[in-house]
Structure 1
Amino acid sequence: MAIQKDQIVSIEYEVNDGTKVVDSNIGGLPLVFMYGRGQIIPGLESAITNMSIGDKADVVVKAEDAYGEYDAAAKQEVPKDQFAGIDLEVGMTLYGQGEDGGTVQVVVQEIGNENVIIDFNHPLAGKELSFLVIVNNIREASAEELMSGIPAENQHDDCCGTDSGTGCGC
């Protein structure tokens, strides 16, 4: 059965940026997502469209279909005092809150005496990615999953299933 919109898909993958493996879940927990909802990079999602359970493929995803082209203008010089209490290092990834309230990831590019240059590009922006992908499972979504867009495998019970209200950062 080929994958169709709003089905729950489970994959194992390994991704290489042309020089090294940058992420892999082979032999670990699969990545579970709802197909057609933009929950994985567009190029990988379109590449697995005609795959079925058990299929394995090597897929190349162009930068524009992954994390986008590198934007040299997506750098910002910020006063160093905004990083008080953080032991900054070049190449360090930091997370903050964007204007829309969402999480923003930046990479420290340069550290000066008074200012820090941060890069808002995704670390894989501008890179063609090579994937080894294996489709582990394809199933129909439940009514609740269709409404929420979140596969049951990715939904978390209150405090990891405990009734006490403790644990899991609660």
Structure 2
Amino acid sequence: MTITNENCVVAIEYEVKEAGTTEVVDTNKGAEPLEFITGKGHIIPGLENALSGMAEGESGDIMVSAADAYGESNPEAKQVLPLDQFEGVDLKEGMTLYGQGENGETVQVTVTSFDDKDVNVDFNHPLAGKDLMFSVTVLGAREATADEAASGQVGGAQGESCGSHGGGDGCGCSH
């Protein structure tokens, strides 16, 4: 079975490195697989697009450009804030902090530097502007149930596999 189009529940194991380096920046190896529904924007577009056409049980290395991952680094997303806004925080260069945005959403910032008056923060995703190399294994793929397709949320292992219905019904899975 191969992954195509929309409304397939896909489970992958992955390891990701910044392109050209050996340092692992994220992995789920030895943990729960990452499950998502294709076509719902749950994972970075470059990775989802590259998974299309891969078969269950297949492994591969996928290069994803910064533009198709977390975007380019935006210089306007860097700000200088007064130190007193960080009262009670043991600041360290490179640390990630979480706060609340203007609309109540959670925002992530990285402390890039600080002195006795100011703190320089970067609102860009830590992997913005970086090309990424994914090593992935497709552990499973099946049609999303009607509820999963409507809600966009994976409902667990209770759904039918694509093989049990022949891959039809517009799930986007093909054999």
Give the alignment's TM-score, normalised by structure 2: 0.84
Query: Are residues 1:66 and 2:94 paired?
Result: no
Deviations 1:129-170 (A, max 9, x none): 00111100001112221222110139xxxxxxxxxxxxxxxx
Find the partner of 1:23 among 26, 50, 67: 26
Deviations 1:21-67 (A, max 9, x none): 11111232100001111100000000000011101111000000001
Secondary structure of 1:78 counterpart: strand
Query: Are residues 1:94 and 2:85 paired?
Result: no
Aligned residue number for residue 15 of structure 2 = 14
Aligned ranges 1:36-47 → 2 under 5 Å? 36-47=39-50
Q: Percent identity?
A: 54
Deviation at 1:103, TM superposition (A): 1.3
Query: Are residues 1:119 and 2:115 paired?
Result: no
Q: Which consecutive unaligned segments of at least 5 residues does structure 1 have?
A: 155-170
Deviation at 1:11, TM superposition (A): 0.2
Aligned pairs, how many? 154
Aligned residue number for residue 159 of structure 1 = none
Runs of 4+ in 1 over 2 A off after TM superposition: none
Deviation at 1:2, TM superposition (A): 1.9
Aligned residue number for residue 104 of structure 1 = 107
Give the alignment's TM-score, normalised by structure 1: 0.86
Find the partner of 1:143 among 143, 146, 151: 146
Q: C-alpha distance in 1, partners of 2:153/2:100?
A: 23
Aligned residue number for residue 55 of structure 2 = 52
Q: Which amino acid aligns with 1:51?
A: M
When the two chains are superposed, the root-mean-square deviation of aligned CA atoms in Å is: 1.4
